[in-house]
Amino acid sequence: MRIGVVSDTHGYFDPRLPEVLAGVETILHAGDVDSPDILEELGQIAPVHAVRGNVDGNELGLPLTRTLHFEGVHIEMQHILPAQPSELNAWSDKACAGKPIPKQRGIFLATFDPATKVVIFGHSHQPCLLTISEKLFFNPGSAGKRRFSLPRCCGLLEITPNDIRGKLISLEIHGGILPGEVRLALTK
């Protein structure tokens, strides 16, 4: 199953999204939608599941968090995580390999359902794709107009019987350096 992942559109529908998200079965929007038109346009590509961001009003009717199941994979969505991007990087499996595990990492992980395999989030506009203790953390960055000096991008999530793969895709004309694909093996 292929899933499109977007966040922080801030009322802007990038004209590349239909091409980039062609063939996805559903789209997850991690908040700061800012306009019902965005959800309608994304809905023309595939069904959309979204959460409310800090700039989204109640009129959009979006929940603060959402729990979804696709192909037996438990996914949690929220706009703002209770940790900074720098903390996530420091707590990643790659950064902690062969080192003592920080206590804060365990406290952070306890905020998620033990069955969760993927956490989709946004807010920082900073793309993030990493694993922490058998969970894939995925911030697709901002698909809205350029803000700050961060790349404009979105993502794809692919669920197979054996693994989950996350990939970031640039929406910039000249691309940019983004983290590579991350794979999380599924244990039976």
Residue 174 in this model has a pLDDT that exceeds 60: no
Average pLDDT along the chain: 93
The answer on pLDDT for 43 being more than 60 is yes
**Mean per-residue pLDDT, 48-65:** 96
93 and 131 Cβ atoms separated by less than 8 Å: yes
pLDDT at 179: 62
Task: Provide the β-strand partners of residue 143.
Answer: none
The pLDDT value given to residue 184: 80
Cα three-residue angle 64-66-71, rounded to 5 degrees = 165
Does 133 have pLDDT greater than 90?
yes
Report the percentage of the chain scoring pLDDT > 70.
95
What is the average pLDDT across 44-59?
A: 97
Q: Is the sign of the CA dihedral 92, 177, 56, 13 positive or negative?
A: negative
Reported as a pLDDT band with limits 50, 70 and 90, residue 78 is very high
Predicted pLDDT at 149: 82
Torsion of CA 40, 71, 136, 162, to 10 degrees: -140
- Tell which CATH architecture fits domain 2-185: 4-Layer Sandwich (3.60)
Facing residues of 67 across strands? 76
Tell me the whole-structure pTM to 2 decimals: 0.93
Can you give the pLDDT at residue 110?
A: 96
